[in-house]
Structure 1
């Protein structure tokens, strides 16, 4: 890459006030040019009714007292787009962040401006195989990126930008589109043309049809085999599985060779019987199954 000018792009990260994706409460954007961060900005957003779930506030520390006087999504998103200036967006787990944008446009009835984006989580999964999880903290740790304050949108956007810079350097390319092509990942688009940032051959790996034939085939959980272990805080396992199936996932009771994700709740020490991990977790770890916390599962939904 010596002597080549790197493509400029913008890393973004959203936080939400509830499990409803149309409840954005903060967003940050970090501009990258010539291989370095050159500008950054953080916005607060007043969610609908300025209402928050306690679980979300516990995660990111934002509540109604902080966003009472903030602008609504449409105003802030317009400012984010002005900041981006037509450059491609990068998000870690873009299925969540772009899902927020989609849901907010549906809620307000606004016509979306066309934007292109890539997902650093999807691309990291293709490049650095074998990690227990591809959540932002795990990937940052793997590539020696400092994540100072996880779930602060600006800290997460900075870390996302640094992860993508590491990935571009590893691939020896200066452009996001070339990186995506090498990793056989679609460059996503939202607006008049809606293309999800997914693995190009993912449909050929799905095997049997999921239980919901009407699910969106581009949803990040579509066709994925899920198993749950431990006690979830937000739902009963049955309800979580039902939500996953609605997205096209295939849920099972035990870890097998086809398992893609193990969603990990809190384990009862009496059930562990002296072990540090549940039987499912031990088996999943041995097989290299990707582990998801309940929050990560919620974001994928």
Structure 2
């Protein structure tokens, strides 16, 4: 029998695990950042330096200062030497990041304390709606702690390792110098592990601390998964769902759980328990995100953080009584704001709004014919206290109407009152009081804007969204009352409207459940406590008629607020278009949206000195 004719090399593309790329043939991009602080969410990048190497040879370098958009703190200037004047004419991160990602495309990213640098880069990508490439990441801190003993290297700081391992470049807290020093450290560490039989990229990732034989043995779970977007579910010995996640590329993402890129304790424990991985292929990222939310609600997998407190959502609304108060409820009503992740957050916003609206915060039960008699207090006390006379229900009613108008976006009178008070504090040089009220007001604006934005989405009977797929085609989503009803794609060259007609015809029917106008409630008092009889208040109070806002349907009806939020973020992506809708998509004219930019600046200004001190200790 003659020998079989071998297939040409190009006949089949080998999978990543089969390639087992030798380290001498692996391209690394070693990157270092300088920043204005330690928080990837609130601080900004001031410099990027990167070196591309392969087989010990430098293939290229990438270096640029970055304008963070505000003054660099003096403490940071002292460390890096990068001043505000130096970055004044530098490009913003929006212009720099695409170039860096192109420079690093297809390479393994390396950084010293990679969690810090990758955190800033991923946060910058998310703000620009740029999909992070999910490249393999190698941390030289982790590698050094695995290779070197405490006697050899008492510290894993870059300066110490560069000196011990004989790096040609001395770290200077400037990005390119530090990246060059990290290249020398990387090569020295790779030389050490080569003597221990580590010669490929896969072996190097497996050599990192915390990767068990159990993880490596289960790589086959990813073998049959498609290279497509979707949702994956790790299942345990009793077929229970252990963990749910989403991926742009299912095979690549699941495979990472069995290499050195996943070293978190809970994930290692989950992988050790897993017996197989199920998956659901999705048309695009929006469908994957929505399916993940629904599966999390259905299975509550123990290794997902969001499964710990499935009923933690709180909403803020007005009570149905003659003298309404702001109360926390578990189910949204038509005038609700939320959801809040904790009752404390709801209490804080309730107290701020009540202060400016003059709503009562006392827990006294008042009938229709009663009067509010709380005495005025110099500090604290019930905001409804009246200096001149006791309040009856008729005189009190406009205060509740002002709050309903605020929540529904019909008037921003209360927000303007808060801003005027901030200006008054500043004018009288009460700067600490102004800063505290600024932060409280920014929180109110942010909460209101989110709710009004989601309510605008949930109000629409049907909304069809189109998003470019980056390859000349389109990704379509049919949204009904805030819920994803259908999804599909039209690849390049496919008539898009024919696809739209098909997915609309097959879309899920969504009938919003408007429900009751009232819900079982928990009153909020000034000390955040519930009185001994207050838990039964919704059953015992004298019912009255509330001016329900027919045009303010909460996002909880028809879809969860989380799902509506995912849809709203998808609609905000660059290039997204509305194909058609049953009514115009709009937010309230006098809603919190007009103050959203101010609130964002206020949140940015709240960066604390503690974060700067943390930066000093970590760099």
| TM above 0.5 | yes
Structure number with larger C-alpha Rg? 2
Counterpart in the other structure of 1:111:
131
The Cα shift of 1:177 comes to 3.2
The alignment's TM-score, normalised by the length of structure 2, stands at 0.31
In 2: Cα distance, 1:26 partner to 1:157 partner: 12
- Does the aligned pair in 2 maintain the 1:18–1:52 contact within 8 Å? no
Q: Is structure 2 residue 157 aligned with structure 1 residue 135?
A: yes
Q: Is structure 2 residue 205 aligned with structure 1 residue 180?
A: yes
* Structure 2 unmatched ranges of 5 or more: 1-21, 212-246, 269-304, 307-612
Q: 1:184 to 1:61 in 2, by over 3 A?
A: same
Q: Is structure 2 residue 66 aligned with structure 1 residue 45?
A: yes
Counterpart in the other structure of 1:17:
36
The Cα shift of 1:70 comes to 1.5
Q: 1:17 to 1:23 in 2, by over 3 A?
A: same
In 1: Cα distance, 2:616 partner to 2:146 partner: 19
SS in structure 1 at match of 2:90: coil
- 1:3-44, Cα deviation, whole Å (9 max, x unpaired): 984312110000002343340010011011112223212111
Q: Is structure 2 residue 26 aligned with structure 1 residue 7?
A: yes
- Does the aligned pair in 2 maintain the 1:122–1:199 contact within 8 Å? no
- 1:40-85, Cα deviation, whole Å (9 max, x unpaired): 12111111x2321111111111122111122211321111111123
The Cα shift of 1:202 comes to 4.7
Q: 1:204 to 1:80 in 2, by over 3 A?
A: closer
Among 149, 167, 170, the residue aligned to 1:145: 167
- 1:188-212, Cα deviation, whole Å (9 max, x unpaired): xxx855979767375599xxxxxxx
More displaced 10-residue stretch of structure 1: 98-107 or 29-38: 98-107
Higher relative contact order (CA 8 A, sep 6+): 1
- 1:139-160, Cα deviation, whole Å (9 max, x unpaired): 1122111342421111110111
Q: 1:115 to 1:183 in 2, by over 3 A?
A: closer
> After the TM superposition, which residues 102-251 of structure 1 pair with which residues of structure 2 at under 5 Å, given as runs?
102-130=122-150, 131-172=153-194, 173-184=198-209, 192=248, 200=263, 202=265
SS in structure 2 at match of 1:10: strand
SS in structure 1 at match of 2:156: coil
Q: 1:32 to 1:12 in 2, by over 3 A?
A: same
* Structure 1 unmatched ranges of 5 or more: 206-213, 216-292
Among 119, 142, 146, the residue aligned to 1:99: 119
Q: 1:71 to 1:54 in 2, by over 3 A?
A: same
| Cα RMSD after superposing both structures | 3.3
Q: Number of residues paired by the alignment?
A: 209
The alignment's TM-score, normalised by the length of structure 1, stands at 0.60
